[in-house]
Amino acid sequence: MRTIESLGNLASRTVIVRDDLNVPLRDGAVADDGRIRASLPTLSALTSQGAKVIVVSHLGRPDGTIRPELSLKPVATRLGELLETPVSFVDETIGDRAHAARAALRDGEVLVLENLRFQPQETSKDATEREAFARELAVGADAFVSDGFGVVHRRQASVTELAAQLPSAAGLLIERESAVLERVTGAPERPSVVVLGGSKVSDKLGVIDHLLDRVDTLLIGGGMMFTFLKAQGHEVGASLLEEDQLDTVTSYLERAEQRGVKLMLPVDVVVAERFAADAGHEIASVEAMTDTPFGADGLGLDIGPETAALFATEIARARTVFWNGPMGVFEMPAFAHGTKAVAQALVDSEAFSVVGGGDSAAAVRALGFTDDQFSHISTGGGASLEFLEGKTLPGLEVLAS
Ligand code: ADP
Ligand code: MG
């Protein structure tokens, strides 16, 4: 990938940076600034060279209309607090006010433009519309740095078309994310363990398919475990089940066996009487799931303690661990133990440990872990999953050297 250095001396040059500053807001302020922090190294690298930096990003899904509650203004404020350089904001992307603000930028300053997705062209299916918008964004700029890893799987004006308008390169975040995910999927140091969970198995089929040929051990928890357990002939009560995926899952179980991949499913599950934080619940062994007091209505909402211990043992032996998908409904404390145990196992291990997935990253932080306890927490939910599926990501392709 082309790096920032390939753009030459950027002093007094105007550089557009595509970041992913799509952060959660609460009461008009930034509730979690993880993605803003992740954007800082590239922005500092540019401002310290004396570049004039224009930051563009989306926030939420305004679908091409102006939605004041999705303005990037609070994000620009937070960025200004974190970055030791002046940060200004303009409530447009390509209008007269935006152009005036851009022209007024001085060396080493940062300007944040309004939410890109207030403009329908940003996410248009029509390439000529995206191109026209990218051309407007590029006016007066000398270079483009792509650093929003969370959007590189999208074909959108500021991700793909803008890169073609200007000399362009990958920022430090995209460089790091790509290198980490490559290390996990390319030739990982062995033994390599992948832990998968989350809600739907259908969201993760591509990842399982691609990784089955590349890892030593696959540990399955979360809602997706029930489709696997059912495929093995267990009863799963009213737990999440994707009947239409039973054949696919069966074929994965067979493939794992043929390839000598250790695919481990839970041996015990926390079964609740209903989907609620205060629901009555108990630990059921998978072998005896039909005998639980909740019978056919029982809902499996977490892996059990024996499973958590088995998974932790596998993780302790690993040299590389990638984890995507909470082990249970971690949003409810009663069903967060499995997720917490797996996170702790990653923290305790000597392995190169990577967490990917939006909810997984949120889960480890909500459970009190910090980013520096892991080798890497990916900022890209969908993008990191598509990378792990072995797909070509359009936003990375345009940065290839
Ligand atoms: P990620 O965003 O990290 O890829 P997913 O979006 O696939 O993760 O899944 C996250 C969701 O999975 C969480 O909201 C969690 O509550 C849910 N989940 C985990 N285990 C279960 C389960 N046994 N039953 C229902 N939902 C579950
Ligand atoms: Mg998710």
Contact 102, 129 (CB under 8 A): no
To test the pocket of ligand 1, the residue of 329, 355, 379, 385 to mutate (highest count of ligand atoms within 8 Å of its CB) is 329
Q: Residue 183 Cα, ligand 2 centroid: separation in angstroms?
A: 23
Q: What pTM was estimated for this model as a whole?
A: 0.89
Q: What is the rounded distance in angstroms from the CA atom of residue 357 to the CA atom of residue 384? A: 7
Provide the pLDDT for residue 121.
98
> Which of the four pLDDT bands, split at 50, 70 and 90, describes residue 2?
very high
User: For 355-383, how does the pLDDT look when each residue is reduced to its tens digit (9 = 90+)?
Assistant: 998 889 889 989 999 999 999 998 888 89
> What is the number of residues in the chain?
401
One of 35, 52, 102, 117 is an active-site residue; which one? 35
State whether residue 242 is helix, strand or coil: coil
Nearest ligand by distance to the CA of 196? 1
Q: Is the CB of 266 under 6 A from ligand 1?
A: no
Nearest ligand by distance to the CA of 197? 1
Protein residue whose Cα sits closest to atom 17 of ligand 1 = 199
Give yes or no: 60 in active site: no
Q: Residue 357 Cα, ligand 2 centroid: separation in angstroms?
A: 6
Provide the pLDDT for residue 84.
82
State whether residue 139 is helix, strand or coil: coil
Protein residue whose Cα sits closest to atom 4 of ligand 1 = 357
Query: Which atom of ligand 1 is least distant from the CA of 361?
Result: 3
Query: Which atom of ligand 1 is least distant from the CA of 225?
Result: 23
Protein residue whose Cα sits closest to atom 9 of ligand 1 = 198
> Which of the four pLDDT bands, split at 50, 70 and 90, describes residue 34?
confident
User: For 157-184, how does the pLDDT look when each residue is reduced to its tens digit (9 = 90+)?
Assistant: 999 999 999 999 999 999 999 999 999 9
- Two tokens at 193? 């363990």
One of 67, 135, 183, 200 is an active-site residue; which one? 200
Is 80 exceeded by the pLDDT of residue 22?
Answer: yes
Q: What is the rounded distance in angstroms from the CA atom of residue 49 to the CA atom of residue 17? A: 14
Give yes or no: 382 in active site: yes
The DSSP bridge partners found for residue 192 are: 320
Cα separations (Å) of 281 from 59, 250, 300, 304, 384? 38, 29, 9, 11, 34
> Which of the four pLDDT bands, split at 50, 70 and 90, describes residue 291?
low
One of 300, 328, 358, 381 is an active-site residue; which one? 358
Q: Dihedral through CA 5, CA 6, CA 8, CA 12, nearest 10?
A: -70
The DSSP bridge partners found for residue 55 are: 17, 112
Over range 66-88, report the average pLDDT. Answer: 95
**Euclidean distance between the first and final Cα of the chain, in Å?**
5
One of 34, 80, 108, 382 is an active-site residue; which one? 382
Contact 122, 58 (CB under 8 A): yes
State whether residue 330 is helix, strand or coil: coil
Q: How far is CA 350 from the centre of its chain?
A: 23
Provide the pLDDT for residue 358.
83
Over range 195-220, report the average pLDDT. Answer: 93
Short-list 397, 356, 357, 400, CA closest to 155: 397
pLDDT, greater one: 290 or 295: 295
Report the 10 Å Cβ neighbour count for 243. Answer: 8
Vertex 59 angle, CA 54 and 65, to 5°: 100
Query: Which atom of ligand 1 is least distant from the CA of 360?
Result: 3
Q: What are phi and psi of 217, to 5 degrees?
A: -140, 135
User: For 333-346, how does the pLDDT look when each residue is reduced to its tens digit (9 = 90+)?
Assistant: 999 999 999 999 99
